[in-house]
Amino acid sequence: MTKKATPNRFMRFIRALGWRLAMILVVFLAGYMTWVDLSIRAKFDGHRWAMPARIYARPLELHTGKPITADEFAQELDLAGYHKETRLNRPGSYRRDGQRFSVVKRSFAFWNGLDPMRRIEFAFDNGHVKSLRDHRGNKITFARIEPALIGHIYPNHQEDRIPVTVSDVPPRLIEALIAVEDRYFYRHFGISLRAVARALYENLRSGGVTQGGSTLTQQLVKNYFLGPERSFSRKFHEMAFALLLEARYEKEEILGAYLNEIYLGQQGGHAIHGFGSAAYFYFNRPLTELRLSEIALLVALARGASYYNPRKHPKRTLDRRNLVIDVMLEWGYISEREATVARSEPLAVTQDPPLGSTPFPAFVELVRRQIARDYHQRDLRTEGLNIFTTLDMRIQRKMEHAIASRLPLLEQRAGIPSEQLQVASVVSDIQSGKILALVGGRKPRAVGFNRAVDAVRPIGSLIKPAVYLTALKQPRKYTLATTLHDKPIRLRRPKGNIWTPKNYDGKIHGQVPLITALAKSYNLATVRLGMALGVPKVLRTIQRLGVKRRLPPYPSTLLGAAALSPLEVSQMYQTIANGGLRIPPRTVLAITNAQGIPLSRYKASVIPAFDPGSVFLLNHALQNVMDSGTGRSLYNRFDRAFRFAGKTGTSNGLRDSWFAGFSQDRLAVVWLGRDNNKPTRITGAGGALMVWGDLMQSITPQARTKPAPSSIEWRWTDLRQGKQTDRGCPGAKRTPYLAGSAPPYSPCQ
């Protein structure tokens, strides 16, 4: 009995152990599958429909007579992603014949309605639009080229994507994808047993994981939930995720996620995910405009974007692309003729891919800040807003080129180590306050410290116009001919020490007319004037010019010891250039939702901050800065008919070089300096003014021709005496005054 009982007890033990192990396995699998399910639902539901806000540059609006050359128009088309082609058979293409263009315009939903796709004939003559006609030859009064996409507001990650839906994607792309990557996609339940068996055999034979046998669903899991490493455990996770993903979601949902998540390239630290982004990355075109050969290339990349990188391995990529075309032909998706044509076409990828998530990071960052005041971050990330901005890409590129070509020369001349001199610049439209271009550093594509917005530096003599405007608002006491005393002054600081400012040239100039003191940037005359006016009164003028930052109420502020950012300086000079009308700088024109319905129009708010007469006098003095003062070197390369107005600025120790100046239509502010605050040994006239001049030479500014306000009267004046005189007298200058404020008459001496 004892001998028989022993085997029975052993078997019962084995069965009990088996049941326990089975129960443990069931509990483990149940827990594991629950974890997989929760992981899928948390990430897939929470993220797959996120549609980022899209940020666009300004559209190009054209009408008969608009000042723009044929070359500039060609530049605009290139920047908007148009392609020069012989045959105009798809949107986004153009043909040029000298001064004439044939353009197949894309359909685009603007804030005021849909502009349909159509062909337009443009003619140019003498730097202006001569005519606009449709394809039938009928005259058109107005045409608009859709803006370029310049960025997104998307959840924080280092990925670059343009989300698409299945309905957005050309049917041939889906056909090619299914035929090449997963021909049984619509039949399997997440994994293909035949593919798994084949891959398992190859892996066992090689002694490692060399083949995946993955379906599209498994590829999505790998990109979305897991990682690129190859191991048996990861393969097990991949299959479990794929099974539950298929059980919970429809095929179209899975396919849509795959189209947006598949890894298709790399640029520096940015991963290119999804076919929408890849179309721009490789062809600089929307997905809907791609040819069959281009679609086949993108599908070829799904097998391995690094291995089949068309820019590094063109022969290998061409073979893979042609294989995709052959498979499409085999499955009957395309005809023999279509396959032959597609195989004969070159890869045609752009030589240089678009840079990063945005080519203009400093400008896009400012856009984000400004709209964050009006929209919740969640809406900006998920609602698919369309943000139309003021960025003029042509001016932006011109500014970048001016910086890139000028800074090395300045470094060499000043003995600054290469790449040490930094820069920031803001260009705006005077009448509207639109920011047309913004550069935050000498490497404008680099994401990082935005010096145009956040570099708060001593502005030097750029502050002086506020001192003189404060005086000119009091015409009974001060005119452009008023005599100021440029002589030493000693002022006690709050801590008890004595401040003794000096002129930049180290000289004392005695009695000088007010207009000359500003033109020559005399420090002693300016400090004496500011102290007579009162520092608090000057600070109030600065605030009314649009500067919100609180500046220290000390005499040294009168010479620019106070610090501002280039954007704040731009606001200050915007009010001056616009005749006393203050318009806050703006980067946004309009916002629409994902359906193209307008949500907001950002109209300029115009605030009359100063009497136009006193500002006209100041602008006349700033024009004199350029004619005979610290900015006079500019006219070595410009005709004096431009009548530019502006002011140079240099901080103590030659650490900061500034210039703020304007034409009839454009205001530009330029700052140069070093991030470590070491001296640059460059003055405002010797540095920032040079960059400013390079920019203005390239953008064809308009000459200043603003008429004087009705409150202005002109008198011939002997500025040395500060008296009216006769026209023919030596040294007589035609000088503007507010009505009734001209000095007494004195005959020729």
Q: Which residue has the higher pLDDT, 63 or 221?
A: 63
Give the range among 201-210, 225-234, 718-727 with minimum mean pLDDT.
201-210
Q: d(Cα 527, Cα 500) in Å, to the nearest integer?
A: 10
Whole-number pLDDT of residue 495: 79
Q: Domain end: 323, 344, 365, which one?
A: 344
pLDDT confidence bin for 391, thresholds 50/70/90:
very high
**Could you write out the DSSP letters of every residue in 362-395?**
HHHHHHHHHHHTTS-HHHHHHB--EEEE---HHH
Alpha helices in 482-640 (DSSP H): 514-519, 523-533, 535-544, 566-577, 612-628
Q: d(Cα 652, Cα 457) in Å, to the nearest integer?
A: 11
Give the Å distances, CA to CA, from 69 to 32, 65, 129, 699: 66, 11, 8, 11
pLDDT tens-digit readout, 449-506: 999 999 999 999 999 999 999 999 999 999 999 999 999 999 988 777 899 999 999 9
Average pLDDT for 181-201: 72
Tokens of residue 368, six digits: 């984000």
Whole-number pLDDT of residue 474: 97
Helix (H) or strand (E) run with residue 11 in it: helix 2-40
Average pLDDT for 719-745: 93
Q: Which residue has the higher pLDDT, 593 or 315?
A: 315
DSSP E strand stretches across 205-339: 263-267, 270-273
Whole-number pLDDT of residue 356: 55
Q: Which residue has the higher pLDDT, 610 or 81?
A: 610
Answer whether residue 156 shows pLDDT above 60.
Answer: no
Same domain, 230 and 340: yes
Average pLDDT for 698-713: 92
Angle of helix 464-472 relative to helix 523-533, nearest 10 degrees, comes to 50
Q: Is residue 53 in some structural domain?
A: no
Q: Is residue 741 in some structural domain?
A: no
Same domain, 581 and 550: yes
- The CATH number of whichever domain residue 64 belongs to comes to 3.30.2060.10
Same domain, 136 and 161: no
CB atoms within 10 A of CB 67: 12
Same domain, 478 and 618: yes
Alpha helices in 161-209 (DSSP H): 171-181, 193-206
Tokens of residue 186, six digits: 């619509």
Q: Token match 């483990």: residue?
A: 28
Q: Is residue 76 in some structural domain?
A: yes
Whole-structure pTM value: 0.81
Helix (H) or strand (E) run with residue 735 in it: strand 732-738
**Out of 93, 432, 461, 614, which one is annotated catalytic?**
461
Q: Is residue 131 in some structural domain?
A: yes
Helix (H) or strand (E) run with residue 689 in it: helix 688-699
Measured between its terminal Cα atoms, the distance across the chain in Å is 147
Closest C-alpha among 185, 350, 384 to residue 280:
350
Answer whether residue 716 shows pLDDT above 90.
Answer: yes
Tokens of residue 683, six digits: 């003055």
Whole-number pLDDT of residue 253: 84
DSSP, res 317: H
- The CATH number of whichever domain residue 190 belongs to comes to 1.10.3810.10
Tokens of residue 56, six digits: 């666009």
Q: Is residue 411 in some structural domain?
A: yes
Closest C-alpha among 350, 349, 324, 347 to residue 172:
324
pLDDT tens-digit readout, 547-568: 999 999 999 999 999 999 999 9
Answer whether residue 298 shows pLDDT above 50.
Answer: yes
Same domain, 450 and 497: yes
pLDDT tens-digit readout, 467-477: 999 999 999 99
Q: d(Cα 523, Cα 528) in Å, to the nearest integer?
A: 9
Same domain, 639 and 517: yes
Q: Is residue 22 in some structural domain?
A: no
Helix (H, G, I), strand (E, B) or coil at 309: coil
Same domain, 77 and 207: no
Whole-number pLDDT of residue 211: 44
Q: Are 377 and 594 in contact (CB under 8 A)?
A: no
- The CATH number of whichever domain residue 459 belongs to comes to 3.40.710.10
Cα-based angle 412, 504, 623 (whole degrees, multiple of 5):
90
CB atoms within 10 A of CB 87: 7
Answer whether residue 187 shows pLDDT above 60.
Answer: yes
Distance of CA 678 to the CA centre of its chain: 29
Helix (H) or strand (E) run with residue 9 in it: helix 2-40
Q: Which residue has the higher pLDDT, 75 or 515?
A: 515
Same domain, 481 and 407: yes
Q: Is residue 351 in some structural domain?
A: no
Same domain, 339 and 451: no
Whole-number pLDDT of residue 210: 38
Q: Are 529 and 480 in contact (CB under 8 A)?
A: no
Whole-number pLDDT of residue 613: 98
Helices (H) and strands (E) counted in the chain, each on its own, are: 23, 33
Residue 2: exposed, middle, or buried by beta-carbon count in 10 A (0-12, 13-18, 19+)? exposed
Query: Strand pairing partners for 672?
Result: 423, 657
DSSP E strand stretches across 220-298: 263-267, 270-273
Q: d(Cα 62, Cα 64) in Å, to the nearest integer?
A: 7
pLDDT confidence bin for 597, thresholds 50/70/90:
confident
Give the range among 146-160, 593-607, 722-736 with minimum mean pLDDT.
146-160
Domain extent for 121: 59-146
Distance of CA 496 to the CA centre of its chain: 48
pLDDT confidence bin for 45, thresholds 50/70/90:
low
Give the Å distances, CA to CA, from 528 to 462, 489, 640: 17, 8, 32
Same domain, 80 and 225: no
Three-class SS of 133-164: EECCCCECCEEEECCCEEEEECCCCCEECCCC
Tokens of residue 386, six digits: 């369309």
Strands 83-84 and 93-97: parallel
Strands 118-125 and 113-115: unpaired
Closest C-alpha among 622, 645, 611 to residue 741:
611
Tokens of residue 379, six digits: 């809406």
Give the Å distances, CA to CA, from 437 to 180, 441, 579, 670: 45, 13, 22, 12
Whole-number pLDDT of residue 41: 65
Whole-number pLDDT of residue 454: 96
Report the chain's mean pLDDT, rounded to a whole number.
88
Whole-number pLDDT of residue 209: 41
521 is catalytic: no
Same domain, 118 and 223: no
pLDDT tens-digit readout, 342-385: 999 999 898 776 655 678 999 999 998 888 877 776 666 656 78
365 is catalytic: no
* Residue 334, φ and ψ in degrees, nearest 5: -135, 165
pLDDT tens-digit readout, 103-113: 999 999 998 88
Closest C-alpha among 294, 15, 46 to residue 170:
294
pLDDT confidence bin for 677, thresholds 50/70/90:
very high
Please report, rounded to a whole number, the percentage of residues in the chain having pLDDT higher than 70: 87
Answer whether residue 207 shows pLDDT above 70.
Answer: no
Closest C-alpha among 326, 308, 329 to residue 317:
308
Q: Domain end: 310, 344, 378, which one?
A: 344
Whole-number pLDDT of residue 36: 58
Answer whether residue 318 shows pLDDT above 70.
Answer: yes
Q: d(Cα 681, Cα 655) in Å, to the nearest integer?
A: 7
The count of domains in the chain is 3
Same domain, 456 and 415: yes
Q: Domain end: 146, 170, 186, which one?
A: 146
Q: Is residue 474 in some structural domain?
A: yes
Whole-number pLDDT of residue 414: 96
